[in-house]
Amino acid sequence: MRWKALILISAVIGSNIPKSPWLGEPETRQDANFIIELENFEKLESHHQLILSKSITAKSEDYLLFHNEEYISVFDAKNGQVNSVFATVSNFRDISLRTFDKIQDPRAPRLKSYGTQPLFLPELGSSEASSVRARSSTNFFASDTNVHSFFLTLAVPQMLRSSKTINIAMIPHYRKNIAVGVKYFFTLENGDKTGIIVDVRENIEEQPYTLKSFVDDFASPIHFDSEYNFTESFSFSEYISKHQTNLSPWYPDQEWNRCGEAYPSKAENQCQCDDKCFDRKDCCPDYMTSCHDRPSFVDEECFSEENHQCPDSSFEKTTLLISVDGFRKDYLSRSEFIPTINRLRECGSTADFMEPSYPSKTFPNHYTLVTGLFPSQHGIVGNAWYDWKRDAQCSVFGVNDGPHPCNVNEMGYYGGDPIWNVAERHDMISACCLWPGNENKINGEIATYHWDYGIWGEKPYGHRIIQILEWLNLPAYSGSGPKEGFRPQFLTLYFDEPDKTGHSHGPYDTTGALDSALKRVDIHLQQLMDGLKMYNLDKCVNIVLATDHGMEEGLCENEIIMAPIIRNYDGKILEETYVQTKSTTTQIGNVRGTGNGSDFDIAKTIDAIECTQEQNNFRVFDKYNFPKRLHYDESPQIESILLLNDRFNKSTLNPRSNCNNEGYMGTHGWDSKYDGMKVPLTLYGPAFKKGVKLPSLQNVDIFKLLMETLQISEDSIKLMPEHMNRQITPFGQFHTVMKTPTNLPKAQALNQAAMTHKTDKSGHSIWYYCDKLEGCKPWYDQNLDKPFWWASFETQLLPFFFEKEIQWIQMGAAFDVTGGGVYQDPNVWTERSENKWCHRKISTTKVQWLPSHYYIVIKSKSNEIFSAIIPWRLAESHRYTPCHVVNEDEARATYVADFNCQINKLGLNWESSWMPWWEEQLELHSARILEVERLTTFGINIGQDNPIIDVQERTKMTSFGDFDRLFASVKDEPDSSSITTLSLFFLALIFM
């Protein structure tokens, strides 16, 4: 039956050959190697063990057969690409062609920027002549990587040791005409079969340690049928990542001479074991493990908590803050690639998760970690921004000398008081190894030692490890006098991976590239820990291992094109505004250089795009109605209109014809509440208890943690009140993890159960407390119109909560006068003559401020706390409310936008269920209890007599989906057993 299929193809070749972009007519019509003699088929079949796939025989007119003594190729003439190659080989020759070079067939034009290379390698040929024949166009496939040739170079010689000949079938798999993988099938003389699918999308470097392991491991038998079907898959990069334990720990940083020692080759760049290195204090970090066979940090047992004490008191307070950029929380599941991080977590303490600040970008969050301030407070509001007050278009990555010039480093944008300056003022020394902002003078101060990223950022990671160890080997500082030449007590260390690889390959990468990036960072952390151990410092340094943000998949097919959406409503808006799209974030403001950033028709612009969540996967906000938990509002560097994209969705103003997922599969910047943006936190060292699991927290909290390890008191006169008072984090949040806390937690002393109503110092009623539905009528001023959602709140939401047997609910109005999420007396602003217009008259003699928000705090029967701050909104006829926000930059109305989309769906029909809307809004506008306290001036006692637990509950973060537990009965949900069954069913579908 097989030779009949070949006869059919040969008949096609002789009569009507399909056109191919790769094959010229002389080759197809005259080359003797195209099969035209029927008597040759049986011979070829027995020699090559050729079995054609049914898909080929079913559409034989679309394929061409080419053969010689070495191989047969099946060429897909319809798509212009090789379909498969079959060969019988008996040797592997070392000819002059290097397998790592790109091989270009002169008859095969390049596809875009890709090269081509042969499936049947010249090295597999039995003679020089047959090697030349391997350069036929029908043997070439589109790829410019070295993995295919690399794999055959390893696999074939290994199998020829046990089999004189091998039958090989190779079938490429294409995506957009470029080969992304190759199926290999090998049949030995004894009938054993083995097959493997290899990812061929990226180049790999020669790594002898790992490759020897591969040669030893390969050739486990795998059964494949006549259709060449099997499910085993393989990625060289993943294999290398899994098996590089014997590889030089400095990979891929071999190009530099470690620790001043020269090495003979890349394959032999191990420590040279110079015993005098201890005298010079320049030993390679792996000196003890490589030269004296001592166990590594990852192989030793954890210190007991009692024994984790530094023998040298001069190292007391020493703290190293490490950032592993873009380390998403669930990267912890790739545990085999991060043994050092795992050991630090096992031997130290952790948090449930840490949430970055918004936007979840690199520079804003690194600077938040060291200032305790949100991006809108410290000035680095993004990686790029426009400041209308200075008419400056700014970027942290370079100087703008063009229109709207800006130099971020020289214009004072790095605000706040970074912890390295705080340590310096407290008679300590700081050393910053590549931390955003560390090269700038801030408040006239700078760290004693600091590395400029522009100089050192692209250098091998090994330099950073050596520098940290050199700093820690300096003599102790006495506390007075010049600091240069003495040991720092606060240090930072930064790695730009796995962020780079997360961007290029995405957070769900299976090629091994992400695993390799994680392994690279982990190896250097291992070297750091082994270096500390070598110098007897492994019990002396407090390590705070953090990161700036997570990573999520962002593909071209999920791109939001803003211009058509706006143009569909009113094309003039694009001429009257500036739309700034930064991948995951979008802002809309006034045209550059035309004055006040909000001096455009905000209402019309919002009308153009509001309530399009279902079609366009984003929400639009006036920045003062942006979720208060994100703290992204009061700054002239933040535009008046903000879009909040759904996860996975990126924004661009106009369609991009060159959008390509290859090389850009992941990104970040979304709402920091998404799981993909969340990150782990690891604490290790003599100051920390072992095995403590902290509740969830936010990265603004880390500043207070560093104050604990550096033993800086909250009462210190060397702190800057103008910055400390803007921090949201209370002292004592890390009390449970510190062996000897410096600052104690303070619980709220208010006994809320004794009262049901409270007014603020301006006389506004802001507090209603109910522990039962009867008598719970939380209204306070009949002079004000009720918000549009009030009827559903009273008739649906409150009854539902008490049916759920909640313990209590506390609620009330909030007045975000300045838009910054901090309470200020409205009367202070209305007394300013220029803002008199902001008064809202409710009678001839009385002026009333409208609330900006309404807050809700609920304690469930399971003792969980749920809280939210939702925007106020009057009835449908009120497009906006006058006198809503007044601050140093502007006094203007605000617009509610997507918050009121429920009116578009249901009108004011209270008979319809508003419960899904309420759950969505409470989830989106959720808030920490301390954020409610910050906006209302009073404390909420959540019923915890223990001040430690009280502080942790007030600072606890939430995740999307937490409110599901409160609203569970709203949905017609299956019971837990059904959920488990459904989960298993869908998992089965995924892996079928």
DSSP 369-436: HHH---HHHHS--SSEEEETTTTEEEETTB-B-SSS-B-TTTTT---S--HHHHHHHTT--EEEES-T
**Average of pLDDT values for 841-858?**
75
Of 805, 812, 813, 814, the residue nearest 859 (C-alpha): 805
pLDDT at 834 over 80: no
Q: Read off the pLDDT band of 211 (50, 70, 90).
A: very low
Report yes or no: 524 and 296 within 8 Å, Cβ to Cβ.
Answer: no
CB of 495 closer than 8 Å to CB of 324: yes
The mean pLDDT value for 653-669 works out to 85
What is the arithmetic mean of pLDDT over 436-460? 90
CB 297 within 8 Å of CB 526? yes
C-beta of residue 474 within 8 angstroms of C-beta of residue 414? no
Between strands 650-652 and 682-684, the pairing is unpaired
Q: In the prediction, which pLDDT does 271 show?
A: 64
Higher pLDDT, 180 or 203: 180
Choice among 38-42, 465-469, 668-672, 913-917 with the minimum mean pLDDT:
38-42
Q: Using CA of residue 827, residue 829, residue 833, residue 839, what is the dihedral sign?
A: negative
Distance of CA 445 to the CA centre of its chain: 32
Amino acid at 880: Y
pLDDT band at 661 (very low <50, low <70, confident <90, very high): confident
* Closest residue by Cα to residue 379 from 631, 585, 597, 637: 637
Residue 904's Cβ-count burial label (10 Å; 0-12, 13-18, 19+) is exposed
Structure confidence at residue 507 as a pLDDT band (50, 70, 90): very high
> Cα 734 vs. chain centroid, distance in angstroms?
25
**pLDDT for residue 737 is more than 90:** yes
Handedness of CA 339, 340, 341, 347 (dihedral sign): positive
- State pLDDT tens for residues 763-819: 555 678 889 998 887 765 666 677 888 888 988 999 999 988 899 999 888 888 888
pLDDT the model gives residue 243: 45
Taking a C-beta distance cutoff of 8 angstroms, is the pair 583, 554 a contact?
Answer: yes
Distance CA 870, CA 860 (A): 19
Give me the residue spans of the domains in the chain: 2-242, 299-397+408-552+677-724, 556-660, 752-943+961-970
Biggest alpha carbon distance in the chain?
A: 110
The mean per-residue pLDDT over the stretch 947-970 comes to: 82
**Residue of 28, 116, 319, 362 with catalytic role:** 362
Both tokens of residue 557? Answer: 């097919």
pLDDT at 10: 32
Task: Say how far apart CA 574 and CA 591 lie, in whole Å.
Answer: 9
Return the CATH class of domain 556-660: alpha beta
Q: Which of 502-516, 659-673, 714-728 has the highest mean pLDDT?
A: 714-728
More confident residue, 479 or 75: 479
pLDDT at 78: 76
**3-state DSSP call for residue 514?**
helix
299-397+408-552+677-724, which class in CATH?
A: alpha beta
Scan for tokens 């030449």, then name that residue: 485
Residue-level pLDDT at 42: 45
3-class state of residue 208 by DSSP: helix
At the topology level of CATH, where does 2-242 sit?
A: Extracellular Endonuclease; Chain A (3.40.570)
Region 847-875: mean pLDDT is 84
Most confident listed range (17-26, 169-178, 934-943): 169-178
Lowest mean pLDDT among 468-482, 788-802, 935-949: 935-949
Catalytic (active site) residue 362? yes
**For residue 896, what are the contacts with CB-CB under 8 A and spacing of at least 6?**
622, 625, 871, 873, 880
List the end-to-end C-alpha distance of the chain, in Å, as a whole number. 31
Segment 856-883 shows an average pLDDT of: 76
- Say which amino acid occupies 839: H
* Greatest mean pLDDT range, 149-163, 686-700, 954-968: 686-700
Distance CA 321, CA 343 (A): 17
Q: Specify the higher pLDDT residue, 479 or 846.
A: 479
Place of tokens 């390890």: 709
Mean pLDDT across 414-443: 96
Q: Which residues pair with 354 in a beta bridge?
A: 679, 697
In this predicted model, which residue has the larger pLDDT, 208 or 456?
Answer: 456
